[in-house]
Structure 1
Amino acid sequence: GWIETALNWYYVIALVILMFVCFYLMLSRFGKIRLGDDDSRPEFSRFSWFAMLFSAGVGIGILFFGIAEPMFYFDNTQPWKYPNNPFADVAGHTAMNEQRAIAAMRVTYFHWGFHAWAVYVIVGLCLAYFGFRKKLPLTLRSSLHPIIGDRIYGPIGHAVDLLAVFGTVFGVATSLGLGVTQMAAGLNHLFGLDPGLVTQLVLIAVISVVATLSAVSGVGNGIRIISEWNIWLSAVLLAFFLFGGPFNWLMGFFITTLGDYLWNAIPMGFQIFSDKGAASWQGGWTIFYWGWWISWAPFVGMFIARISRGRTIREFMLGVMFVPTSISFVWLCMFGGTAMWMELNAAGGVGTAGIADLVRNWDLPSALYGTISQVTELGWLNWAMAALATMLLATWFITSSDSGTLVITTMLSMGDDNPPQRFRIVWGMGEGFVAAVLLAAGGLTALQTASIAAALPVSVILLLMAYGIVKSLHEDPSAVAAPPEDHAPDGTRMAQELHA
């Protein structure tokens, strides 16, 4: 609580700085520099690359919050004794109407948009540049080489990598904890199973084993294949919401809300509320999200770097910043927009569809299934899509866990991108154990607290990394006459993927 309230200004300005650095580098002359040797080429096709970016960087969280978060901002009952959406209240949109729905989606985009991915971009770019081009260890310590030189190999470097491991463990554990609570709610919806702690712990144990096996098989096999499956399953679920729901309304709502977000993203990024109630809201939502993204940054950034060798800086930054963000916006609008449309057009009057009631009672995992059950009049189809959503949670759980395992073991083995299998097994099961302990200790509150606490020291490192990459690029002789960009993946690797 102290971090969320006393240091809210720090998190706000840190995210603004990181996003500014991202866009500066994206538009600068450094864009043609390749992340690797000048003749290196990408290892993975663009589709595989995008699939792994989205699965590792968003995953479980967007299913957990995709309906619950915009519905919380749309609600106006203030069940937690602070505003549900200060941005809407300030604009005078206090009733549950379409204008408040637009404001709710704007805030949701804000939390999942460019500010979030700027964090991942900075870490991923630093690791890929220093690891593949400067031939330093593929660990966070290498990003500080422009600042402290070879001292990265001493106690300072060890401390930085340990902080990164700590942040990764608790960031991944937060996501896994959210995922199993929603999976348990899904099994309750589908089969009537008790969604309590015992079910959640069993789910963690079973899926952690599968995730560990995936991590042992490596990036090119288990992680890539499951990530691609995630994209196809996600496409089916999105199509269900789009074509089974209010198609024309959703299309208009998406265009309107996207424009609203793009117009307001910068001023929202600088907003710090002084009113006690609004400040409590900002701490519980915005600062929690900024902390979550920061605690995830070593994990996601390392994984992004690992799969981005051979791409140019501009291609890397455009791909990582805009592709997952665009998919997230479509997802959030289709899911959250459908739920708000149901509440706006409920037969018993606005707010009587039952989804807002679930969110008011903080039954966030059930909000997804409560919405799916009302999308069409075909009960069997709604049931099948609920089962698909639960399956998608499981596969996203696996990709989050196995990617986290690979990252942790890479850092602990001084940048070895093929760490020993025994490391992967120990840490794969260890992540599940941490998630289980946090769930048993305090549920969602404990997970949220761990994420925020882990983010504070990591955020300082991220700001130093941003300075270091700018400094190093200005000193890179290739920045004057970088070779032309060539986006084609390596032909041999592409052939291997097509025949895989």
Structure 2
Amino acid sequence: MRATSGILKGLNPTVTIASKVLVIGFVLFCAILANQAGQYFEAISGILLQNVKWFYLGLVTLMVGFLLYLMISRYGHIRLGKDDEKPEFSYLSWVSMLFSGGMGIGLIFWSVAEPMWLYAGNPFTAGLSNESASMAMQLAFFHWGLHPWSVFIIVALALSYFSYRKGLPFTLRSILYPLIGNRIYGPIGHTVDILSVAITAFGISQSLGMGVIQINSGLNQVFGVNIGFGVQLLIIVVLCTCAVASVLSGVGRGIRRLSEWNMLLSLLLVLIVLYVGPTRYLLNTLLESTGNYAQNIVGMSLWSDAQADSGWQNSWTAYYWPWWMLWAPFVGMFVARISRGRTIRELIGGALIVPTLITFLWISVFGGAALKVEQDARLAFEQQAAVLAESGQAPQDAFAGGPVLTATKDDTTRALFTLFDNLDGGALGKLLSVLACVLLATYFITSADSGTLVLCTLDAAGASEPPTMIRVLWGLLIAAIAAMLLYAGGLKAMQAASIIAGFPIAIFIAVMSLTLFHSIRREPQPWAMLPEHVRPEPNRLDDPETEAEPQERWQAAPLSGQ
């Protein structure tokens, strides 16, 4: 008898029990050894960055090239499902769910703070200069553009292909089928899904923890609410309760409607800032930064700071790439869940290119507005210094930053809200801050919602409608992990832990890329799928390189038949 004799009440008992043990063990570790946990995370992450940074950088760059190749190649026509299958969701709903599930909270958190830090200092330009402002936007585009989305999409594409087109279970174990065949239903497959569940739960919780910290900061700035673990715990409880209620209503109702609401509210916030901010400057920034990004993407992708080895990259690019990989199982599975019926070209073009362009717009508006506030502050400082020099007074100290940069250095979570207070004379500051808190809350709910659905799907061996009880349980566990990460050291501990958890996912992504290409190159040529009366002469159909792989090789027994 195999490891799993069947699906017990709709669940895979091996994956369900083992993953819960891992997750609960992690929660207890952070709760009992809070101070030591944060130190352990930082020590191990430092070792990884010192020795395998080249692997992170090279792998993600290869993913971008591989996906762009598939999009324009003959494989782009392949439909992720039956050849006549239609997508479940409209294009607008699909893009809304992509963006909400992929980057919502993180982008709000860093869209102002990151350009501020990079404006203050980066390895390529002098800090607090026009050149550093331009470079800050270019680097922010790089960290939030094609590279992170490629990590998500490679997982979504591989899972969609093997599950929807080849009839394998909707779990990450299916990606290994070309290597190990039906052994994916044994201990190896169970191990892959158990680790996927545990890492996915951690990745979701890390993102939610960031959102809670920023919501707490916004409430403090607007309403004077105290900043502390007690308030943050209350926020987690309230929002995770809403998320559980949403996930019980399913993808077609809860997640879709919340995602569409997120996009509308995001658009409203962008339009307000674009209108009250320096509109001409923001649009010029968008255009210029996109051009700089496109012109320098190859160099940025492969730059590893080999000569100076300053350590700067360890805090930015080499931190971001494993962070995105940590999200990859969760976001990739969610993107696959909502993308059935689309072609490979549609999936890559829609889920890689479109969200990247939306991200560029968001960073240009909010990061650009913050840079303009800083540049105005620097200009005022220089004018005052000139007046003092003319009057014979002693020169002042060098310019150290305006209000947004000062707030960012003091507390990263305050960057966005300080920007709002300095727009339009502060007249709209409180209103924009409230809107941002609402948006953070809805993104929090959507991320927890979609993440819970993914975790339940893994527990239920790929079933699209997991049992209600397991949905509630995962909602509670996600809240507990987020709370314990905050308790164990807040943002710094979460960042260090994400680098560690991203390493095994990086290896898995490398393997899945090979298995996907090995399988997809056996698909028939586009003309071989046309009706016989309009098909060209089949003089190449006997070529083993272009012949479709026999379908019976992919008909693996379901888990319940073991």
Output the TM-score relative to the length of structure 1.
Answer: 0.91
SS in 1 for 2:118: helix
Q: 1:169 touches 1:404 (CA, 8 Å); kept in 2?
A: yes
Kindly state the Cα deviation for residue 377 of structure 1 after the two structures are TM-superposed.
Answer: 2.6
The reply to whether residue 128 of structure 1 matches residue 160 of structure 2 is: yes
Inter-partner Cα distance in structure 2 for 1:94 and 1:287: 22
The reply to whether residue 312 of structure 1 matches residue 343 of structure 2 is yes
Please give the alpha-carbon distance, in whole angstroms, between the structure 2 residues aligned to 1:12 and 1:466: 16
CA contact (8 A) 2:200 2:326 kept: yes
**Residue matched to 1:387:** 434
User: 2:74·2:525 contact (CA, 8 Å) conserved in 1?
Assistant: no
In structure 2, which of residues 455, 473, 498 is the aligned counterpart of residue 426 of structure 1? 473
- 1:51-200 equivalences under 5 Å are 51-75=96-120, 84-86=121-123, 88=124, 93-200=125-232
CA drift at 1:397 = 0.3
CA distance in 1, matches of 2:472, 2:116: 39
**1:396 and 2:428 aligned:** no
- Separation (CA, whole Å) in 2 of partners of 1:24 and 1:275: 32
- The answer as to 2:257 corresponding to 1:220 is no
Give the equivalent residue in structure 1 for 2:43: none
Amino acid at match of 1:119: V
CA distance in 2, matches of 1:224, 1:193: 32
Alignment match, 1:209: 241
Deviation of the 1:359 alpha carbon: 2.0
Check if 1:288 corresponds to 2:319. yes
Distance 1:281 1:105 in 2: 17
Residues 184 and 195 of structure 1 are in contact (CA less than 8 Å); yes or no, is this contact kept in structure 2? yes
Look up the SS of the partner of 1:94 in the other structure.
coil
CA distance in 2, matches of 1:352, 1:8: 32
SS in 2 for 1:377: helix
Q: CA deviation at 1:423?
A: 0.8
Kindly provide the amino acid, as one letter, of the partner of residue 507 in structure 2. Answer: V
| Counterparts in 2 of 1:238 and 1:148: CA distance versus 1, 3 Å | same
Alpha-carbon shift at residue 450 of structure 1 (Å): 2.0
Q: Residue 360 of structure 1: which of 409, 416, 436 is its match?
A: 409
Rg (Cα) greater in structure: 2
Q: Is the 8 A contact 1:33 1:483 kept in 2?
A: no
Shift of 1:202: 0.8
3-state SS of 1:310 partner: coil
Distance in 2 between residues matched to 1:25 and 1:166, nearest whole Å: 30
Q: State the partner residue of 1:477.
A: 524
Structure 2 counterpart of 1:433, which letter?
A: A
* Partner AA of 1:163 in structure 2: L
Counterpart selection for 1:36 from 81, 85, 88 = 81
Aligned to 2:374: 343
Offset from partner CA, 1:360-386 (integer Å, 9 cap, x none): 23x11101000011111362x221111
The 1:182/1:285 distance shift into structure 2, 3 A limit, reads same
**Structure 2 counterpart of 1:155, one-letter code:** P
- Preserved contact between residue 420 and residue 426 of structure 2 (Cα < 8 Å): no
Shift of 1:250: 1.1
Which of 41, 62, 69 in structure 2 is aligned with 1:17? 62
Shift of 1:351: 5.3
CA distance in 2, matches of 1:332, 1:21: 26
Aligned to 1:81: none
Question: 1:374 is matched with which residue?
Answer: 422
The separation in 1 between residues aligned to 2:369 and 2:413, in whole angstroms, is 17
State the Cα distance separating 1:198 from its structure 2 match: 1.1
Contact 2:101–2:446 under 8 Å retained in 1: yes
Q: Match of 1:415, SS?
A: coil
State yes or no: 1:264 paired with 2:311.
Answer: no
CA distance in 1 between partners of 2:307 and 2:198 (Å): 34
Instruction: Give the alignment partner of residue 409 of structure 1, picking from 456, 463, 466.
Output: 456
Task: Verify the 8 A CA contact 1:33 1:478 in the aligned structure 2.
Answer: no
What are structure 1's unaligned runs of at least 5 residues? 76-83, 485-500
The two structures, once aligned, show a CA RMSD in angstroms of 1.4
Q: Deviation string for 1:62-81 (max 9, x for gaps)? A: 01000000110001xxxxxx
Q: CA deviation at 1:274?
A: 3.0
1:460-479 deviation digits (Å, cap 9, x = unpaired)? 11111111111111112365
Residue 490 (structure 2) aligned to one of 443, 458, 464: 443
- Whole-angstrom distance in 2 between the partners of 1:59 and 1:321: 15
Structure 1 residue 353: Cα displacement: 2.7
TM-score of the superposed pair, with normalisation by structure 2: 0.81
